[in-house]
Structure 1
Amino acid sequence: MIKNSFIFLEKISNKKERNIWKQGIKDWHDFLNVENVKGISKEKKYYYDRKIKEAQNALLKEELSYFIRKLPKIETWRLYDYFKDECGFLDIEIDSYGKTILVGISDYYNANFFVKGSNLEKDILEKELSKYKLIITFNGSSFDLPKLKKQFGLKINIPHIDLKHLCVNLGLKGGLKEVEKILDIKRPQHLNGNPVDLWKAFHASGDKEWLDLLIAYNNEDIENLKAIMKFVYKKNKEKLNG
């Protein structure tokens, strides 16, 4: 979808982007190979040509930060399809004091979990995060990422898609669990508990079963992020095509 996008260009709105598509100009290649675009002056067309070539170069080098700077926040979903094999879905759990006790990060193949008292350390997290081109969270802009930055001193410069903002834009309001219900995403009954209580039980008893249950809970969150991302991408694409 990113190669079909013109909204990152200066003064190109959703409406103007649709007008470009209606002229049979469906992607960057089409735009560069036509002499005139209705509604765009020759001077502006020349300027946009240069900017599109700049974007092509950024995409070739996988410089996602370029597009994060250029795209409106509610349009960052357009990057997903091109980079989905290099996405990291991230979710954290906190204790009753607001401290991070578990971080789960997953691509479409493997999930890794980092637990307080075991492997939840700055260097380990930085190494894990460096594997990904794009991080996807639910409300991570306000919660997960600030927590990690403050508690561990992490510098997270990886481009980020926050699903909460994209869901609100589609009329899906509430937290992750509320959005799951709206979309009829089912989770096992035993993974509907409170992660704070699970951590308390593990901390008090030392029984690994409680920790395993907490990790399973976090993993379910991550898996549901993937389902929500796919839904958001599909719905936004349908809106554009409609």
Structure 2
Amino acid sequence: MLQNTFCHIPGIGPATEKKLWEAGVTSWDQWQEPAPVRLPNSSRNEIISLLENSDEALDTDPSFFTERLASHEVWRIFPQYRHQTAYIDIETTGLAEDADLTTIALYDGAEVKYYVNGRNLDDFLNDIWKYKVLVSYNGKSFDIPFLERYFKITLDHAQIDLRYVLARLGFKGGLKGCEKMLGIDRGGLEGVDGYFAVLLWREYESYNDESALETLLAYNIEDTVNLEQLMIEAYNRNISQTPFAKELKLPHALAPPLPFQADLTCVERIKRRYTL
């Protein structure tokens, strides 16, 4: 899809891009001079130069495109860089800047990795640089800035924040709300949310309760693994609105085996302790 994209060019939005496709300009190498449609805000030289730069960036630089695409249009880069993509989600002790990081989950479509405060958080710094694209839900506003503050680093990866991509498709209400609307079943973790994740960490720290930590990791990892399903669903719904739906639609991914399962006894105990 990326090579069929023109709306990363200044002056070309989705409506003009659609007109280009209808006029037979369906990929970069089919660009015509003069352009078959009116392009009021872009000069000929700017467009040709940007298309040349796009071709050069195609194999190695996803940020070239995400920096030029609207937040709800970055789904277009996904197939091109899928092999360099990680899905990411974090858990913390709260939303304030002085909150502590508790766990991180990372999934690259094949392997689940997880990091726990007090055990192996620094391993995250070795692993994150293996990827060029990060897929999150609200990560641009929360997860990524939080990680950058916590580790005192800059994560210069290209980002696909599904909050914006899904909202454009009509799916809102947070990650769990979007999952429900798209038929993703949480099973034993139904009803567990970000606040409950804070309580799970508190239970682990206060009582050295490994079942609470494992339940927290199960929750964090499921958030992360589900991002792949949401990413593919969002991509396919968007691609269905283009002339390329038949050839570019992606198959659904198989969920990986999960290293942890929620301890429902632990969940009920915490609910009673905090009268939830």
Normalising by structure 2, what TM-score?
Answer: 0.80
Q: 1:149 — aligned with what?
A: 148
Q: Are 2:109 and 1:108 aligned? A: yes
**Cα deviation digits, residues 127-180 of structure 1 (max 9, x gap):** 211011100110011111121112221211111111111111111111111111
In the alignment, the residues of structure 2 paired with residue 177 and residue 47 of structure 1 have an alpha-carbon distance, to the nearest angstrom, of 42
Contact 2:62/2:81 (8 A) holds in 1 = no
Shift of 1:45: 4.1
Q: 1:30 — aligned with what?
A: 30
Greater shift in the superposed pair: 157-166 or 206-215:
206-215
Contact 2:138/2:163 (8 A) holds in 1 = yes
In the alignment, the residues of structure 2 paired with residue 10 and residue 93 of structure 1 have an alpha-carbon distance, to the nearest angstrom, of 38
In the alignment, the residues of structure 1 paired with residue 189 and residue 57 of structure 2 have an alpha-carbon distance, to the nearest angstrom, of 45
Greater shift in the superposed pair: 231-240 or 76-85:
231-240
Q: 1:226 — aligned with what?
A: 228
Given the superposition, is the C-alpha separation of residues 143 and 47 from structure 1 closer, same or farther in structure 2, using an over 3 Å criterion?
A: closer
CA RMSD after TM alignment: 2.0
Shift of 1:98: 3.0
Contact 1:191/1:216 (8 A) holds in 2 = no
Q: Secondary structure at the match of 1:143?
A: helix
In the alignment, the residues of structure 1 paired with residue 67 and residue 54 of structure 2 have an alpha-carbon distance, to the nearest angstrom, of 12
Greater shift in the superposed pair: 141-150 or 75-84:
141-150
Shift of 1:237: 1.4
Unaligned runs of 5+ in 1: none
Q: Are 2:18 and 1:18 aligned? A: yes
**Cα deviation digits, residues 28-85 of structure 1 (max 9, x gap):** 1222xx44431258x944542222111100113x112211221122111100111112
Greater shift in the superposed pair: 232-241 or 75-84:
232-241
Which has more helix, going by share of residues? Answer: 1
In the alignment, the residues of structure 2 paired with residue 54 and residue 190 of structure 1 have an alpha-carbon distance, to the nearest angstrom, of 46
86, 89, 94: which is aligned to 2:87?
89
Shift of 1:208: 2.1
In the alignment, the residues of structure 2 paired with residue 143 and residue 63 of structure 1 have an alpha-carbon distance, to the nearest angstrom, of 24
Residue identity opposite 1:64 in structure 2: P
Residue identity opposite 1:39 in structure 2: V
Percentage identity across aligned positions?
A: 28
Shift of 1:90: 0.4
Q: 1:57 — aligned with what?
A: 56
Aligned length: 236
Unaligned runs of 5+ in 2: 246-276
Q: 2:205 — aligned with what?
A: 203
In the alignment, the residues of structure 1 paired with residue 240 and residue 100 of structure 2 have an alpha-carbon distance, to the nearest angstrom, of 40
